[in-house]
């Protein structure tokens, strides 16, 4: 993996985690203040995590569009090469199977 691919992937992942952490902090403060329910039974940490994921997912989708596109442009050629290798290997396997059946 090239350094630019690692860089784009790490940047996107880091920003995604930062958005989640920010949402978690906001949700925790809102729960502490009493704006939203603090928990359901004894599920306080799980409730806050799920609510944070629910809020951060659409935010990440909208706010990180550029980083996601940059990452996919750098990763796409590697995926295409892997897929073409897989297709050629499957073709070789099919040829070998046909040769074995005809013999």
Query: By percentage, how much of the chain surpasses pLDDT 90?
Result: 34
Which residues make Cβ contacts (< 8 Å) with residue 37, sequence separation at least 6? 31, 47
Q: How far is CA 54 from the centre of its chain?
A: 15
Q: How many Cα atoms sit within 13 Å of 32 on the Cβ side?
A: 6
The structure tokens listed for 21 are 């952490």
Q: How far is CA 67 from the centre of its chain?
A: 12
What does DSSP assign to residue 62?
H
At residue 15 the predicted structure's pLDDT band, cuts being 50, 70 and 90, is very high
At residue 32 the predicted structure's pLDDT band, cuts being 50, 70 and 90, is confident
Element of type H or E holding 77 = helix 65-102
Can you tell me the mean pLDDT for 12-20?
95
Q: 39-72: per-residue pLDDT in tens?
A: 665 557 888 899 999 999 999 999 999 999 988 8
Q: Is the pTM of this model over 0.75?
A: no
């Amino acid at each position: 993996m090239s350094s630019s691919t690692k860089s784009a992937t790490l940047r996107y992942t880091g920003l995604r985690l930062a958005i989640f952490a920010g949402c978690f902090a906001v949700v925790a403060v809102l729960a502490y203040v009493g704006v939203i329910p603090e928990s359901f039974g004894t599920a306080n940490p799980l409730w806050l995590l799920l609510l944070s994921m629910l809020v951060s997912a659409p935010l990440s989708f909208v706010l990180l569009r550029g980083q996601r596109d940059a990452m996919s442009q750098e990763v796409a050629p590697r995926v295409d090469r892997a897929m073409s290798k897989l297709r050629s290997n499957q073709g070789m396997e099919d040829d070998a199977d046909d040769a074995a059946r005809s013999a």
